[in-house]
């Protein structure tokens, strides 16, 4: 299993995502859609003598939502990101982490950047929330 598939499957378990589909590295023009977007590449945090590594995988959860000029809709979008952050923290605290296979074991997952408005066109907005997963990758 790939890391990004494991993260997508994990995120799909969040009850907040019931209103739209979750893509990988693609966010359609029509709301409501979500995407898991890879940011950069795996980064080695620590290398062990047996070849094992502690690594970091950074990604964004992006969304395209209807907002228009309504304060209520913008508040709803902001609340979505706040609730998602709370959900992710609770899962991390409970030790319920993504299954990423192939000798890799997730150690932690967290929001590392708050939900940010990335684009506003017509009545639609793109928001992005940056997340970081730390995982162990076995050696010999």
Q: What is the pLDDT of residues 85-101, one digit of tens each?
A: 999 999 999 999 999 98
Q: What is the pLDDT of residues 31-68, one digit of tens each?
A: 888 999 999 766 999 999 999 999 999 999 998 887 77
Look-up of token digits 């162990």: 136
Could you give the residue ranges of the DSSP H alpha helices within the chain? 3-12, 71-94
Q: What is the pLDDT of residues 1-35, one digit of tens each?
A: 799 999 999 999 999 987 668 999 998 877 888 99
Domains and CATH numbers, the chain: 3-137 (3.30.2000.30)
Q: Look at the pTM and tell me if it is higher than 0.85.
A: yes
Residues pairing with 47 in the sheet = 53
Say if strands 104-121 and 43-47 run parallel, antiparallel, or are unpaired: unpaired
Q: Distance (Å, rounded) from C-alpha 8 to C-alpha 34?
A: 10
Q: Select the more confidently predicted residue: 84 or 140.
A: 84
Read off the pLDDT of each residue in 117-134 and give the average, rounded to a whole number: 81
Q: Give the rounded distance of the alpha carbon of 120 from its chain centre.
A: 21
């Amino acid at each position: 299993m790939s890391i990004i598939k494991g993260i997508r499957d994990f995120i799909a378990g969040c009850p907040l995502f019931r209103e739209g589909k979750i893509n990988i590295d693609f966010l359609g023009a029509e709301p409501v859609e979500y995407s898991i977007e890879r940011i950069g590449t795996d980064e080695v945090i620590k290398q062990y003598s047996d070849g094992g590594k502690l690594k970091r995988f950074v990604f964004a959860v992006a969304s395209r939502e209807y907002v228009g000029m309504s304060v209520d809709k913008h508040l709803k979008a902001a609340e979505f990101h706040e609730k998602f952050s709370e959900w992710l923290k609770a899962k991390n605290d409970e030790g319920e982490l993504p299954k990423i296979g192939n000798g890799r074991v997730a150690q932690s997952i967290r929001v590392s950047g708050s939900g940010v408005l990335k684009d506003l066109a017509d009545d639609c907005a793109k928001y992005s929330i940056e997340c970081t997963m730390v995982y162990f990758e076995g050696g010999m």
